[in-house]
Amino acid sequence: MELLLDTGLIVLGFILLIKGADFMVTGASSFAKKFNVSEIAIGLTIVAMGTSAPELVVNLVSGSQGLDDVVFGNLIGSNIFNLFFILGIAGVIRPLVVQSETVWKEIPFGMALVIILFILVNDVFFFGSEENSAGLIDGFILLLLFVAFIYYVFYNVKNNSDVIETNVKETPIYNHWVTLLMILGGITGLVIGGKLVVDNAVEIARSFELSEKLIGLTILAAGTSLPELATSAVAAFRNRADIAIGNVIGSNIFNLTFILGINSLVTPLNFNTEMNFDFFVLIGGSIMLFIFMFTLKSKKLDRWEAVLYLITFIAYVCYIFIRK
């Protein structure tokens, strides 16, 4: 009976996620057209932060309870899920055209950020410390990187305010209050839906005696990334490639800078070096995305590349279940 209830709540969570994503994309697109702001900027900020809210809540709770493996597993796993699975699904739905700014700035920034974080948490190897952790100094560095990224996004918007994507013309314009309610309602649906799915999925997972690290890398990572999946899939279906890609890249940057930065300031986190392999997978996925921008049709994630992402993700999931 309890298993049936958990499954029912997961289904309810999925419904809230899909509707929340629909409102989020519609509201964000309306906002972009109304204020002549590019959709990539909206995807990199409002949409990305809104869809990353579940990770923030889950990790603050996990960190306060001393579940360090869950925190790192959730963040690294979420970013792997975002990059391989979500971009894979979105690219299969519709090949994604990428802007030059994204190819030469946002994608390399996200890739460099993963490498920087890898160095920061491997204190024993790189700095000769007694333990590997993300502490106060690491938190400040990550938050500074987050501020720098936000500054770049809005500086870019300010200096390119006269440029707006062609596909935004198809978006209906709503008044300020309706647009705001759509975005806030979308975020609310995403957060509540994500929490319902995660909480009940974890209950089911624990009944099968899965480890905290594995729960973080799989159930929680996928669960907290469901808002990104719903948002990017809907955006791709509606031919909003900038929101689909900006949401993934922005969410990944937000996860590793703001969320982990806040976590590190609140509670120092011990890092399990067994997760270095997962770091390498994330770095490899970022390099793949950059390379994909120069194969066949330039600055475009083609369907075959999206399928390759999905195949790689399936192989990775199979491996971590065998590894445990």
Contact 19, 227 (CB under 8 A): no
Summarised one tens digit per residue, pLDDT across range 26-79 is: 887 787 777 777 666 776 676 677 767 777 777 787 777 777 888 898 899 999
Which of 31-45, 217-231, 246-260 is least confident?
31-45
Q: Please give the pLDDT value at position 86.
A: 93
Q: Which two tokens stand for residue 259?
A: 């969320």
Q: Is the dihedral of CA 94, 99, 101, 105 positive or negative?
A: positive
pLDDT band, very low/low/confident/very high, at 81 (cuts 50, 70, 90): very high
For residues 46 and 165, the model is more confident at 46
pLDDT at 171: 55
Nearest to 189, CA basis, from 313, 310, 25: 25
pLDDT above 90 (res 249):
no
- pLDDT higher than threshold 90 for residue 117: yes
272 secondary structure, DSSP code: -
* Complete domains list, the chain, with CATH: 40-164+211-323 (1.20.1420.30)
**Entry pTM:** 0.80
The alpha carbons of the chain give a radius of gyration, in whole angstroms, of: 19
pLDDT bin (cut points 50, 70, 90) of residue 296 is: low
Q: Which of 76, 52, 45, 87 is nearest to 288 (CA)?
A: 87
The per-residue pLDDT for range 130-147, each reduced to its tens digit, is 899 999 999 999 999 999
